């Protein structure tokens, strides 16, 4: 049975996202998807959802919704206050929600991307095989745009008498968000168009996230990186590619990047670290460290292995969904 969640306030920016849109680059569509895929994956895992379930990504915060349904939710990502009917709740765990509950997110105190997942995922039709919202393309979500006040999103109603366990990601496994991070870089693309000296400068200096940072890309400021070539024939841009325009200030290309472009690139950031970059706002500090592609593959496989083998804590076993109101429908 289908029922609804209604947006009371979308906050700063709230977007429906699944794991992203893939296989559509040939018609010029970008990936979209969660900027912090690690927090996204945990939100779905806490609810036993599929890897591709649709969640709401809220940037900075301020989202509030009213539930017309009995279900469970989980809030992961940036540190933020979570309230149900005004009562404080924890992040990184399953929360029971009953009909007419109001769920409110405050504003992030550390990090900036917050993920709200619901049991079975938000029920949204796909466009080009994905529900991910890319505002620049007007594709995905409910209308190709950010969520607004009054929007209703379908979710599946769970039987109020269904017995559920509330789960939690053990505290030591929860990501910690920092304002100063090191990004591991796989050198590639036009790396040879940068002199050894310039490559060293790039990997030695600290850069600052500028005010030009959004879902398309993060523009950094700091030591100028010189390149021996000015422009190249437009070519495909990978997620995390580090573009060096004429002014020598690096731009790291994110989920909503354009699919092709003509600036030289020194390499690409490891996706595990892009998740950390996505949590930074203006003023955040970034350093770079080169790694090989083989090392990157090992790190990805290790991260996947750890994710799959993490045992979630059971905080309340076999509890009735509808404990708060004590009524069954």
Partner 1 sequence: MKIHVASENSLIVYFGEQVSQGISDDILRVSTFLSAHIGHELIDLVPSYASILVIFNPLKTDHLHVRKIIRKAKQSVPSLSQDGRTLETSNKTVQLPVYYGEEAGPDLSRLAVNAGLSIEQVIKLHQSIEYRVYAIGFAPGFAYLGEVDERIAAPRLSTPRKKVPKGAVAIADRQTAVYPAQSPGGWNLIGLCPTDMFNPHGDPIMPVSVGDKIQFIEINCEQFLKLGGQLPQGAIE
Residues in contact with partner 1 by the rule CB under 8 A: 22-29, 127-128, 136-139, 186-189, 233-241, 258-261, 265, 267-268, 270-271, 293-294, 296-297, 300-301, 304
Which lies closer to partner 1 via its Cβ, residue 146 or residue 270? 270
Please, what is the minimum distance in Å from the beta carbon of residue 88 to partner 1?
37
Q: Is 258 within 8 Å of 237 (Cβ atoms)?
A: yes
C-alpha 238/C-alpha 260 separation (Å) is: 9
Q: Is 222 within 8 Å of 183 (Cβ atoms)?
A: no
Please, what is the minimum distance in Å from the beta carbon of residue 186 to partner 1?
5
Q: Where are the alpha helices (DSSP H) in the chain?
A: 37-46, 196-204, 271-277, 293-309
CA distances, 243 to each of 239, 262, 293 (Å): 11, 9, 18
Which lies closer to partner 1 via its Cβ, residue 161 or residue 195? 195
Work out the widest C-alpha separation in the chain, in whole angstroms: 71
Please, what is the minimum distance in Å from the beta carbon of residue 110 to partner 1?
26
Which lies closer to partner 1 via its Cβ, residue 103 or residue 242? 242
C-alpha 113/C-alpha 96 separation (Å) is: 22
Which lies closer to partner 1 via its Cβ, residue 44 or residue 127? 127
Please, what is the minimum distance in Å from the beta carbon of residue 196 to partner 1?
18
C-alpha 282/C-alpha 274 separation (Å) is: 15
Please, what is the minimum distance in Å from the beta carbon of residue 257 to partner 1?
10
Expressed in angstroms, the distance from the first to the final Cα of the chain is 13
Please, what is the minimum distance in Å from the beta carbon of residue 46 to partner 1?
21
Q: Is 116 within 8 Å of 58 (Cβ atoms)?
A: yes
Is the Cα dihedral 264, 266, 270, 275 positive or negative?
negative
Q: In a 10 Å sphere around its CB, with 0-12 CB exposed, 13-18 middle and 19+ buried, how is residue 143 labelled?
A: exposed
Provide the 3-class DSSP secondary structure of residue 301: helix
C-alpha 91/C-alpha 318 separation (Å) is: 20
C-alpha 204/C-alpha 288 separation (Å) is: 7
Please, what is the minimum distance in Å from the beta carbon of residue 117 to partner 1?
22
Which lies closer to partner 1 via its Cβ, residue 11 or residue 32? 32
Which lies closer to partner 1 via its Cβ, residue 85 or residue 304? 304
Please, what is the minimum distance in Å from the beta carbon of residue 185 to partner 1?
10
Which lies closer to partner 1 via its Cβ, residue 107 or residue 128? 128
Which lies closer to partner 1 via its Cβ, residue 191 or residue 223? 191
Please, what is the minimum distance in Å from the beta carbon of residue 324 to partner 1?
40
Strands 94-97 and 207-213, bridge-based pairing: unpaired
Which lies closer to partner 1 via its Cβ, residue 60 or residue 270? 270
């Amino acid at each position: 049975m289908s029922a609804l969640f209604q947006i009371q306030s979308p906050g700063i920016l709230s977007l429906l996202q699944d794991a992203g849109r893939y296989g559509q680059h040939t018609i010029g569509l970008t990936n979209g998807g969660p900027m912090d895929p690690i927090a996204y994956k945990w939100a779905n895992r806490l609810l036993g959802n599929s890897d591709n379930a649709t969640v709401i990504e809220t940037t900075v915060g301020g989202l509030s919704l009213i539930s017309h349904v009995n279900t469970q939710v989980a809030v992961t990502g940036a540190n933020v206050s979570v309230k149900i009917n005004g009562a404080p709740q924890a992040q990184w765990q399953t929360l029971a929600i009953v009909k007419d509950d109001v769920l409110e997110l405050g504003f992030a105190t550390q990090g900036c991307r917050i993920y709200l997942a619901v049991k079975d995922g938000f029920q949204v039709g796909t466009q080009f095989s994905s529900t991910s919202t890319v505002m620049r393309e007007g594709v995905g979500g409910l209308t190709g745009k950010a969520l607004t006040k009054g929007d209703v999103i379908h979710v599946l109603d769970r039987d109020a008498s269904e017995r559920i366990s509330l789960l939690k990601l053990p505290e030591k496994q929860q990501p910690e968000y920092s304002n100063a991070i090191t990004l591991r870089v796989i050198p590639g693309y036009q790396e040879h168009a940068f002199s050894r000296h310039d490559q060293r400068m790039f990997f030695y200096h600290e850069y600052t996230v500028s005010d030009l940072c959004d879902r398309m890309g993060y523009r950094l400021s700091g030591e100028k990186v010189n390149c021996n070539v000015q422009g190249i024939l437009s070519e495909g841009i990978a997620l995390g590619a580090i573009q060096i325009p004429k002014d020598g200030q690096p731009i790291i290309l994110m989920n909503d990047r354009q699919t092709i472009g003509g600036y030289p690139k020194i390499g690409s950031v490891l996706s595990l670290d892009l998740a950390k970059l996505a949590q930074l706002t203006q003023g955040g500090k970034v350093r770079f460290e080169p790694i090989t592609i083989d090392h990157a593959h090992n790190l990805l496989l290790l991260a996947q292995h750890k994710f799959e083998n993490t045992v979630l804590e059971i905080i309340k076993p076999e509890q009735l969904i509808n404990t708060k109101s004590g009524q069954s429908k």
